[in-house]
Amino acid sequence: MSDTSARLGLPYIAPSQAQKHVTHNEALQRLDALTLLTLEAVEAIDPPVVPGQGALYALAATPQGDWAGQGGQLAYWTGTAWLFLPPSDGWHGWDKGAGVMRVYQGGAWQGSETNLQNVSGVGIGASFDAVNRLSVSAEATLLNHAGAGHQLKLNKAAATDTVSLLYQSDFAGHAEMGLTGDTDFHIRVSADGAAWSDALVVDTGTGLLSGDAVQATATDAGIGQVPRILAGRGIFGLGLAAQELSLAPGDDLDSLALTGIYRFAATTAGAPFAGNGVVMHLGQVAGAYVQQAQASDGTLWSRGMVGGVWGPWARNLTTLNAVGPVSQTAGVPSGAVIETASNGNGQYVRYADGTQQCFHSRNLFTSGPATWSFPAEFAAPPKVFGVAQQTTQALSFANEVAPTATQAQVSLRSSSDSRVGGMIDLMAIGRWYAAA
């Protein structure tokens, strides 16, 4: 039979032992020290100058002073001397200094699971394992705010790792959202829990969307896909960077088939003008489409397709182009509706249909005919008219010679056909480009 107890090492009183009270008192000291352990400090190195009666310390590996050579032991002050006792795995003690419960395990006093610090796992209505350290089996889990709000923080060690919320059915994953393999935000789905499809991916650098649920190109017409304009990329080219202005198919407005709004560049074929613009392409029936294009200056152009053949582009009348320089191409107006200006030779008005009017007021003399150079050239000799401003006598206007495209020679004549001086209002009417 051993002389001490198996667990606390309490000394036994031997048969016929003299001074039995010594052995008994030593056993009581050990029992007092080790029952309901209360540790003044853990990993203690230096003994206190004046230790309290019954003070108990868990010593560090290399303590100093009166504790030297007793590393890892429990030091108990008996009132007159230090009593050193070896701890055993599984002993619990209250750490007064840290205010936590500790358990002795593996040669060290570790945080006890009773204070929920550095616990190996928690199971609520279920059992945790090495992967699922927190396991909850319940109808619901409530995470409530303390103060103004509440954040659920999910962190990962490296960009290539995964941190996510995984949705399972019968423990097979079917939906997931989070940072899966990079730092972009993914929403992905799976039919079998093995093969996954990224439905939506949010680029953390730009905020733009991509993925199987987003239109990838201008001609992508997948059912159930989010239009690119809603995905922050711009549908059919809207909002794209300069390097993405090319149109499919063939960078040609004549070849567009899918209804939508497109951006085009100066090099785009089939455009109504050589410059950047936007075109709206609308389908009616097979082989019948309409297009409306807008230039950066706000001018609008329209055309239609009938029987698979595009008609010519026509510029729309707006407040921007009603008045301005008129122009024509092959007899088709291509500029403003009305052009008006003046110079030293008078005023003129040009119309988009080719009509031109010139006006002037001037003095005539009796010495000879006056030459009127038109303020704007005609395409052919115009008709020239004049009205005298004098009302005291009957006067007649005369073209001395046939007008040319640039000038006319005019005079006023009396009833006796003699030249008369005075003010006259002149008008010439003709065309600024030849009629088709």
**Residue 201 is assigned to a structural domain of this protein:** no
Count H helices, E strands: the chain? 1, 32
Total structural domains within the chain:
3
How far separated are the first and last CA of the chain, in Å rounded?
A: 134
pLDDT band at 35 (very low <50, low <70, confident <90, very high): low
**Residue 247 is assigned to a structural domain of this protein:** yes
**Residue 61 is assigned to a structural domain of this protein:** yes
pLDDT tens, 377-397?
999 999 999 888 876 666 778
Residue 310 sits in the same domain as residue 342: no
Residue 311 sits in the same domain as residue 344: no
Largest separation between any pair of C-alpha atoms in the chain: 179
Residue 344 sits in the same domain as residue 423: yes
Average pLDDT value for the chain: 83
Residue 346 sits in the same domain as residue 301: no
Location of structure tokens 């205010």: 99
68-77, 86-95, 116-125, 268-277: least confidently modelled range: 116-125
Residue 349 sits in the same domain as residue 421: yes
Mean pLDDT across 240-246: 43
Residue 296 sits in the same domain as residue 350: no
Query: Of 100, 115, 130, which residue is a domain's last?
Result: 115
Q: Residue 109: which domain range?
A: 36-115
Residue 149: pLDDT over 80: yes
DSSP state of 131: S
The domain that holds 418 is classified in CATH as 2.60.40.3940
Please tell me the predicted confidence (pLDDT) of residue 242.
41
Give the whole-angstrom CA distance, residue 115 versus residue 98. Answer: 11
Please tell me the predicted confidence (pLDDT) of residue 238.
46
pLDDT band at 32 (very low <50, low <70, confident <90, very high): low
**Residue 107 is assigned to a structural domain of this protein:** yes
Contacts of 240 (CB under 8 A, 6+ apart): 233, 234, 263
Two tokens, residue 233: 């990329």
Bond before 369 cis per omega within 30 degrees: no
47 or 221, greater pLDDT: 47
**Residue 265 is assigned to a structural domain of this protein:** yes
The DSSP bridge partners found for residue 187 are 177, 200
**CB-based contact 303:314 (threshold 8 Å):** yes
Please tell me the predicted confidence (pLDDT) of residue 1.
44
Residue 343 sits in the same domain as residue 391: yes
**CB-based contact 376:432 (threshold 8 Å):** yes
Residue 404 sits in the same domain as residue 361: yes
Query: Of 249, 283, 315, which residue is a domain's last?
Result: 315
**CB-based contact 30:83 (threshold 8 Å):** yes
Angle at alpha carbon of residue 9, lines to 5 and 14, rounded to 5°: 55
Residue 351 sits in the same domain as residue 288: no
**Residue 145 is assigned to a structural domain of this protein:** no
Please tell me the predicted confidence (pLDDT) of residue 188.
96
Query: Of 95, 115, 135, which residue is a domain's last?
Result: 115
**Residue 55 is assigned to a structural domain of this protein:** yes
Q: Which stretches within 246-347 are classed as H helix?
A: none
Segment holding 289, helix H or strand E? strand 288-295
Give the whole-angstrom CA distance, residue 112 versus residue 115. Answer: 6
365 or 22, greater pLDDT: 365
Two tokens, residue 75: 């030091």
Residue 293 sits in the same domain as residue 370: no
Residue 113: pLDDT over 60: no
60-64, 229-233, 364-368, 407-411: least confidently modelled range: 229-233
Please tell me the predicted confidence (pLDDT) of residue 232.
42
Please tell me the predicted confidence (pLDDT) of residue 97.
85
**Residue 138 is assigned to a structural domain of this protein:** no
Residue 300 sits in the same domain as residue 349: no
Residue 344 sits in the same domain as residue 417: yes
